[in-house]
Structure 1
Amino acid sequence: MKTLALRLGLLALVLASYWGAYQHGRSVERAEAGQASAQRDSGDRLAEVLGERGARAEEQRRATAQEEARAHANEEHQVADAGAVAADAAGHRLRDESAKFAAAVSCPGPDPTAVARGQAATRAAMVLSDLLTRADERAGELAKAYDRARIAGEECEREYDALTGQQKTGL
């Protein structure tokens, strides 16, 4: 019986040692998996932080480029407005000169046929002066509208290029 008890005790001891070795292996494996997971999570956080920094830098670059495009458009608007003022002044001078010319065409005289021709010439000069005035005003309106549309289109193009990161190789 002693030998049986000794054999059972020895068998229990062997089983306990195998069980202990198995549990130790599992704990080592869990620790290694936890360490690998922690390293992966740390790398993920680092990549996230670097990605956020890159995204912020790109956002800042785009915002700066858009602001530059708006500032450039404002400068172009000021130049166009100054040009429009100069064109309006020249148009006023031209209209004044045409009105003076229309007024100077009438020349009263003793000959009734000359008076009739003078009145017809005066009416024709007044019509032409009025047409010139209207054409000049409309041309000014169209020029201002064209300038606004051109400047807005160029600003839009510059902002789009800034957003997409394209550089215009320009004219």
Structure 2
Amino acid sequence: MSAIWLKAIPYIAAVLLVAGALFGVYHHGVTVTNDEWQAKWNERDARDEAAQAANEAAERAKEQSRQQAINKVVQNGQALIDTAAAAVTAANRESDRLRSAADGLAGSVSASQAGGNSCTAAASAAATRAVMVLADVLKRADQRAGDMATVADQARARGLTCEQAYDALGK
């Protein structure tokens, strides 16, 4: 039996050499294929990263553009509010002048009615009180109108600013 094994050794060695060669070729083919796919994946990953960077840059540019538009709207809105505040200041000066005139009128009426006979004194006192009440009502109405105008002007300016900011975001 040992003679059979001795005669079979070269055949077994040849089969092992052929099997080893085939395994080597197979392994080389797998390695080459894996390297080719890895190169393709690396190329795809690089393209994806470049596209992502481009998209981020475009979105940042849009965001900066929108922020600049909103900043401009805020500046314009503040200018409207400042203009309204200046108008309120001017209106308050005029209102103060009107109230002073009403106080002066009430004072002059009471001073002119103070002299005279006793019969007309009671009527004069009633007329003086009526003028003073009218002057007080005029002052309060003027003050309230000024307050309401101030609130309305500021609300309008803020509303316009909000509307412009919304429109700027839509671009």
TM over 0.5: yes
Matches within 5 A, 1:4-43: 4-43=8-47
Give the CA deviation at 1:4: 4.1
Equivalent residue number for residue 70 of structure 2: 66
Q: Residue type of the partner of 2:145?
A: A
**What stretches of structure 1 move > 6 A for 4+ residues in a row?**
none
Q: What is the percentage of aligned positions where both structures have the same residue?
A: 35
Equivalent residue number for residue 48 of structure 1: 52
Task: Answer 1 or 2: higher relative contact order, Cα 8 Å, separation at least 6.
Answer: 2
Structure 2: runs of 5 or more not aligned: none
1:138 aligns with 2:144: yes
Equivalent residue number for residue 151 of structure 1: 157
Q: C-alpha deviations, 1:34-87, integer Å up to 9, x for none?
A: 101211210121122112212321221122122112101111012101211221
Give the CA deviation at 1:151: 2.2
Q: What CA distance in whole angstroms lies between the structure 2 residues aligned with 1:41 and 1:80?
A: 57
Q: What CA distance in whole angstroms lies between the structure 2 residues aligned with 1:6 and 1:35?
A: 43
Equivalent residue number for residue 106 of structure 2: 102
Higher helix share: 2
Q: What CA distance in whole angstroms lies between the structure 2 residues aligned with 1:136 and 1:110?
A: 34
Q: Residue type of the partner of 1:64?
A: Q
Q: What CA distance in whole angstroms lies between the structure 2 residues aligned with 1:64 and 1:110?
A: 74
Q: What CA distance in whole angstroms lies between the structure 2 residues aligned with 1:72 and 1:128?
A: 42
Q: What CA distance in whole angstroms lies between the structure 2 residues aligned with 1:53 and 1:61?
A: 12
1:118 aligns with 2:137: no
Q: Residue type of the partner of 1:58?
A: K
Q: Out of 79, 84, 87, which is 2:88 matched to? A: 84
Q: C-alpha deviations, 1:88-123, integer Å up to 9, x for none?
A: 122122222222322333434534333322221111
Q: What CA distance in whole angstroms lies between the structure 2 residues aligned with 1:153 and 1:16?
A: 84
Q: Residue type of the partner of 2:20?
A: A
Q: C-alpha deviations, 1:100-151, integer Å up to 9, x for none?
A: 3223334345343333222211111111111111121122122212222332
Q: What CA distance in whole angstroms lies between the structure 2 residues aligned with 1:110 and 1:37?
A: 112
TM-score for the superposition, normalised by structure 2? 0.82
Structure 1: runs of 5 or more not aligned: none
Count of matched residue positions in the alignment of Structure 1 and Structure 2: 165
Please tell me whether Structure 1 or Structure 2 has the larger radius of gyration of its CA atoms: 2
Q: Out of 85, 93, 115, which is 2:97 matched to? A: 93
